[in-house]
Amino acid sequence: MDPVFRPACPSDSDEVVPLIYLSGQIPSGGNLFDILFVLNKEQVLDLLNKLFVAKTPSWLHHSVFYVAEIENQVGAVACAYLEPEHGIESMIAALIECGWKKDDFAAFRQVGSVFNHVRPKAEKDVWIVEFVATHPQHRRRGLVQILIYILLRKGKNRGLKKAQIGFFSENVIARKTYEKSGFQDETTRKNPEFTELFKSDSFTTLFRNL
């Protein structure tokens, strides 16, 4: 059966959330989401599920994701968004909806500030592609390439001119995948605080025109 590529919906959460978590794996060990939210894996998965189905949209909301469905199973995911629409302010509002209090944000903001040392500030009109992952059973089928193509076309149809995608620099497979999708112009940044916290030498951002 041929894969079906479609927008994600709230009922996909049980299958999509583990793949979002998978997208956060750091090549040297650990997970982006565990570090960002300062929670253990079980707590993070619960939070990701709440953010995915929340009323408040954010960069982890179902409305920004597309999925590849194979025989009624989600085989791959990816998302794209604009910072003004689904960026940090939206995330803060979504976390409040999920029950976070003022004191919960201190560590989150601290980790975010470290990450911002290596991640270029997103321009308001740059299409941000993120959280790309394939279920291990469905790898090497080109699912991610098609999802990225769909998302890039969506951005172009909105009149946007540029897209970006980022990854931990040690992730050679991610680089090859994104370069196949036309991402080329590169910015790689290092920071000692980033390396200490994320156990990664540097973070790479690739860009392409739409």
What is the mean predicted confidence (pLDDT) over 126-155?
Answer: 94
Count Cβ atoms below 10 Å from residue 85 Cβ, excluding itself. Answer: 14
Mean pLDDT of 79-95: 95
Q: What is the value of pTM for the model shown? A: 0.95
pLDDT in tens, 26-73: 998 999 999 999 999 999 999 999 999 999 999 999 999 999 999 889
pLDDT of residue 100: 96
Say if CB 165 and CB 183 are below 8 A apart.
Answer: yes
pLDDT of residue 208: 96
Please say whether the beta carbons of 77 and 131 come within 8 A: yes
Statement: 4-209 belongs to CATH 3.40.630.30: yes
Report the mean per-residue pLDDT for the chain. Answer: 95
Residue 71 is predicted with a pLDDT of 87
From CA 26, how far away is CA 33, in angstroms rounded?
10
Q: How many CA atoms lie within 13 A of 104 on its CB side?
A: 12
- Delimit the domains of the chain by residue range: 4-209
